Structure 1
Amino acid sequence: MSPIVVEFSARQPDRLARWWADALGWDVHLGHRLDVRAGATGPTLRFTAADRGKDATNGVHLDLRSGTLDEQRLIVGRLIASGARTADVGQSGTAPWVVLADPEDNEFCVLEPRADYNGTGPLAAVVVRSPDPAEAARWWQEETDMVRAEPAPGFASLRPVSGYGTHLEFLRSADGPDGMLRVLPEE
């Protein structure tokens, strides 16, 4: 089972779960919860009902991996055709990644090719804003079977022990992980 759950609060959780399952090529799992996952590895995306729409930038977002610049363009085009839109979260016009928003306006990035994410599958990283990335990574390392990568100023990253699978990353920000997405340890 996955060490982490990314929970989406959504006005239409069934629709958004199907959208993300198609976007990532993962499966929808119905039970007492509405989950999307790739199988036994990687994070679980969980969808719950919300009575309000998103009204601020999320403190958690997903980074999708691409292997080439052509693949990045194809992924962006496919996701826009399926209901995503381009989004502006203050990125520069020269940023090599593309920021999109899903059908309920949750921001995510389609990254340019990066060697660090070879072996992650379509979901390169779950990124969490934190006032103290190093402390957040320490706490999550104790809660999961992930290992810490080399830290950098204002950034901390956890990776699966195997070296394969989605990373959990923390970026310094005065804002915490508020919004319509949150990260939880797997139960």
Structure 2
Amino acid sequence: MATRLVQINMKAQDDAALGRFWAEALDWGIDSEAPGVTNLEPVGFAYPDPVAVCIDIVAYPDPKTVKNRVHLDLATTSAAHQAELVARLTDLGARPADIGQGDVPWTVMADPEGNEFCVLDPRPGHQGTGPIAAVVVDCADPRAMAGFWGEAMDWTLHEVTDDHATMRSARGVGPYLEFLRTPDTKSGWNRVHLDVRPYRGDDPAAEEARLLALGATDPGVDRSAISWTVLADPEGNEFCLLSPL
């Protein structure tokens, strides 16, 4: 048994407006839109497929107050492309963000609801990822996080150091999943989290038990009105275990 990263879940006070921003930013389509939920994926995409990690934007009344533990890194192909993308995102409603990054070759921005993201400088390793180069998770121990997620998913571990760990789908396509050592501590529920999905025919209860045995925890979310399971990784970051597909 194994899971794979299929989407990120992002809370928003106005899911429709934020969905329009990210659809324009990534040149993606709005796959479905219901009251309080906006789903984004590439045009013509057949879900699920590791060539893309989709985005679910879900309405949530509380405003963002702290730096997100999970953010997106956007890929660029040249310095000119990076500058053009920053300008286009600014026109769409993004703004520069200072998270203490100092003088770095990438540009840190925030979307219209304040969610941080990075427009990366061109990097050979990110060519072919699609518009999202990586989904990045802040953590205290990248090695331990890579150990857990490397067992939880069937993705391939590419690099592990004390400060950084990188994974990618077993097919070598789509964005990377990166764990970045930061001094910040988790505060409250994550407004952005990972959604993973087992494969068709897998037993959801057995998969939940397997993840718990690997070091996941149960944060005690009421399951009476939902069809998925909310768990937390060893550093307390919530994630959703969706139904097999």
Q: Is this a same-fold pair by TM over 0.5?
A: yes
2 CA distance for matches of 1:122 and 1:65? 5
1:35 aligns with 2:39: yes
Residue identity opposite 2:62 in structure 1: R
Q: Shift in Å at residue 164 of structure 1?
A: 2.0
Using the TM superposition, give the Cα deviation of residue 14 of structure 1 relative to its aligned residue in structure 2, in angstroms.
1.1
Q: CA deviation at 1:31?
A: 6.1
Which deviates more from structure 2 when the two are superposed, residues 151-160 or residues 109-118? 151-160
Distance 1:172 1:86, change over 3 A: same
* Match runs of 1:128-143 below 5 Å: 128-143=137-152
Does 1:168 pair with 2:172? no
Q: Check conservation: 2:142, 2:162, Cα contact below 8 A.
A: no
Give the ranges of 4+ consecutive aligned residues of structure 1 lying more than 4 Å apart after TM superposition.
none
What secondary structure is seen at the aligned counterpart in 1 of 2:130?
Answer: coil
Task: Map Cα deviations across residues 39-73 of structure 1 (whole Å, 9 max, x no partner).
Answer: 23311211111111100110111000000000000
C-alpha spacing 1:138/1:35, structure 2 compared with 1 (3 Å) = farther
* Greater RCO, CA 8 A, separation 6+: 1
What SS is found at the alignment partner of 1:67? coil
Counterpart mapping for 1:67-86 below 5 A: 67-86=77-96
Match of 1:181 among 192, 196, 204: 192
Work out the CA distance in 1 between the residues paired with 2:78 and 2:120: 10
Structure 1: distance between partners of 2:60 and 2:104:
32
Distance 2:83 2:33 in 1: 35
d(CA) in 1 for partners of 2:107, 2:152: 31
Rounded to whole Å, the distance in 2 between the matches of 1:146 and 1:21 is 26
Q: Residue type of the partner of 1:34?
A: T
Secondary structure, counterpart of 1:29 in structure 2: strand
Q: Which runs of 5+ in 1 are unaligned?
A: none
1:17 maps to what in 2? Answer: 19
- From 87, 104, 111, give the equivalent of 2:97: 87
1:18 and 1:75 mapped to 2: Cα distance?
16
Q: Secondary structure at the match of 1:3?
A: strand
Identity of aligned residues (%): 36
Name the structure 2 match of 1:61: 71
TM-score, normalised to structure 2, is: 0.71
Q: What is the TM-score normalised by the length of structure 1?
A: 0.91
Determine the structure 1 residue equivalent to 2:132.
123
Max radius of gyration: which structure?
Answer: 2
Shift of 1:23: 0.5
Query: Structure 2, unaligned stretches of length 5 or more?
Result: 198-241
**Post-superposition shift, 1:90?**
0.4
Matched AA of 2:154: D
Displacement of 1:152 = 2.1
Q: Secondary structure at the match of 2:195?
A: strand
One-letter amino acid of the structure 2 residue matched with residue 60 of structure 1:
V
* Structure 1 residue 156 displacement after superposition: 0.7
